[in-house]
Structure 1
Amino acid sequence: MWIISILLIVGVALIVYMVKEAFADRVRELTFRFPSYPVDAPSLKIFFLSDIHKRRISENIIHAVQDKADVVVIVGDLTEGGVPLSRVGQNLDALSSIGPIFFVWGNNDYEVDPDRLKALFQKKGVREIVNDTAGYGAVTFIGVDDGTLERADLPHAMRGTDPDRCQILLSHDPSLSAELTASDGVDLMLSGHTHGGQIRLFGWGLYPKSGVDRLQAVTRVTSAGYGTSLLPLRLGAKAETHIITIGHGSGKE
């Protein structure tokens, strides 16, 4: 009987820990330097997040990055089916207090009425990039639609891009990196979708861990995401956002 009691206590403690991890407000800081970034330009600071899903953007996370970022980049799954549009609007209001918002679509975003979401973007001043580019300061954002739904069109998005300019690819689906070549001149790729596996047992998960991958054609940052899918539980794949600093030079600090 005491064994069952111990197992129940451990089980409850584990669930409490997993819920706590799912609602953590964590900001990771990364710095990248690229020769293509103008030597005389001030560094660009990006507040990067993905996979918000049902979660509300907390005041803690806003306070943590206030005045520390120039621009906000959301790489998909801002929302999902069943999330009130009012909550999405509140999240966008919170994020817009940091800086202008750029957005690319994720698979769960298409679970809501796209026309209503687009209207909300227009109202809130969100710049969505759909298989296209958008310039901001010294960088070009290349935004693709969701690859998991076969809506991504990288060749169309890359039309007219300048490989000599600092280019950042925004893609919900990290596997799109396989379509890149070094000649495309993409310096950095920001992605999400996988949640870092969300629940990892003994280091194993359904998807690879989040983090920085130095691939042959690009440096890729895959976020574990801010929210969760299905149950609000995380284990071994902590909720996260990023402040990413881009400057002139070579390599990662």
Structure 2
Amino acid sequence: MIYLIALALMGGACLLMYMLREAFADRVVYKELSFPEFPESFGEIKLFFISDIHKRTVSETVIGEIKEKKPDLVIIGGDLLEKGVPFERVKKNLMGLKTCGPVYFVWGNNDYEADYHQLDALLLECGVKILDNTALSFESIEGERFILMGTDDLSKDRDRLDLALKDAGSGGFRVLVSHDPRIINSITKEQNIHLVLSGHTHGGQIRIFGFGPYEKGRIKALPQTTILISNGYGTTGVPLRLGAKPETHFITLNKS
């Protein structure tokens, strides 16, 4: 009996060590997405997407790998921090990501746990563009448009997709960034939002026998849009993961 108890304790300790190691792993997922509506004059657009950093420091390994790939846009999909995270760490993460390319940010629910006025000021200081129910338009020499849209956090009832759409104007290839993937319930096919980038769910973070509170991160083609839901980079609650590896994303967009 004592032997079995000792064996179980050793197994539990090994599992905890594995979950801890998984929580702090670095992973960049590469994906090429082709759309018939993508403006051919842009050739391709390269995006680096990272969400749910929470308490983590973005590693030099990830920064170095992404810097070499030279993304056109670096996008933070919310939960840059949570309550208790020092702003010095947040600034270090922002400055590291800035070495990879121009940085854009949308608010997540945990960002409001801290002094969000201070966070807003820090983002401004670091030259990060906040997409809070707004849109940015990039135009090629031929006059075709690529539009990056962002909504404020849905769970705080701060999202106003209608304002982002108004800011985007008509036409263009549209990418929407929203921390909470439930934004898809507000999207219609007529809005011509071609891709949605989101996080929030952590892929369930800890999945027992493959089951978790949320589905694992993935790309889904829906009738109204295509959505990428990320497992996220950090953790919340406990610094453990099982069956939902941390991930960041390097996405290449082009015309099919």
TM-score, reference length from structure 1: 0.96
Correspondence for 1:78: 80
After TM superposition, the structure 1 = structure 2 runs for residues 222-233 of structure 1, keeping only pairs within 5 Å, are: 222-233=229-240
* Residue of structure 2 equivalent to 1:123: 125
TM-superposition CA deviations, 1:119-160 (whole Å, max 9, x none): 111110000011111124652111000001111111111115
Contact 1:163 1:185 in 2 (8 A): no
2:132 corresponds to which letter in structure 1? V
Alpha-carbon displacement from aligned partner over 1:63-116 (angstroms, at most 9, x marks no partner): 121131221101100001100011000000100000000000000000111111
**SS of corresponding position for 2:200:** coil
Cα distance in 2 for residues equivalent to 1:117 and 1:35: 38
Q: C-alpha displacement at 1:191, in angstroms?
A: 0.2
Return the alpha-carbon distance in structure 2 between the equivalents of residues 55 and 182 of structure 1: 36
Secondary structure in structure 1 of the residue aligned to 2:254: strand
**Map of 2:18 onto structure 1:** 17
Secondary structure at the residue paired with 2:203?
A: helix
In the TM superposition, what is the alpha-carbon distance from 1:61 to its structure 2 partner? 0.7
The residue aligned with 1:65 is 66
The number of equivalent residue pairs is: 249
Residue deviations 1:198-242, cap 9 Å, x none?
Answer: 000011101111111111101000000000001110000000000
1:194 matched residue in structure 2: 201
**What are structure 1's unaligned runs of at least 5 residues?**
none
Task: Please state how far the C-alpha of 1:164 moved relative to its aligned partner.
Answer: 3.3
Q: Which residue of 2 aligns with 1:145?
A: 152
The answer as to 2:91 corresponding to 1:89 is yes
1:177 counterpart (184, 188, 196): 184
Amino acid at match of 1:135: S
Aligned residue number for residue 114 of structure 1: 116
Contact 1:162 1:185 in 2 (8 A): no
Question: Do the aligned partners of 2:150 and 2:176 also contact (CA within 8 Å) in 1?
Answer: yes
SS in 2 for 1:228: coil
Equivalent residues of 1:34, 1:166 under 8 A apart: no
Partner of 1:240: 247
Distance 2:163 2:50 in 1: 25
Kindly indicate whether the alpha-carbon contact (under 8 Å) linking 1:80 and 1:109 is maintained by their aligned counterparts in 2. Answer: yes
C-alpha distance in 1 between matches for 2:146 and 2:20:
37
* CA distance 1:208–1:177, shift in 2 (3 Å): same
Cα distance in 1, alignment partners of residues 131 and 107 from structure 2: 8
Which residue number in structure 1 is paired with residue 142 of structure 2?
A: none
2:217 aligned with 1:210, yes or no?
A: yes
Deviation (angstroms), 1:161: 3.0
Q: Could you tell me whether the CA contact under 8 Å between 1:163 and 1:186 is conserved in 2?
A: no
Are the structure 2 counterparts of residues 14 and 149 from structure 1 closer, same or farther at C-alpha, using a change threshold of 3 Å?
Answer: same
Q: In the alignment, is the contact (CA less than 8 A) between 2:46 and 2:250 conserved in 1? A: yes
CA distance in 1, matches of 2:118, 2:249: 28
CA contact (8 A) 1:46 1:73 kept: yes
| Distance (whole Å) between structure 1 residues aligned to residue 248 and residue 10 of structure 2 | 31
Structure 2: stretches of 5+ with no match in the other structure:
140-144
Taking the aligned partners of 1:212 and 1:4, their CA distance within structure 2 comes to 43
The Cα RMSD (Å) is 1.1
When the two structures are superposed, what TM-score results if normalisation uses the length of structure 2? 0.94
Say if 2:134 and 2:167, in contact at 8 Å, map to a contact too. Answer: no
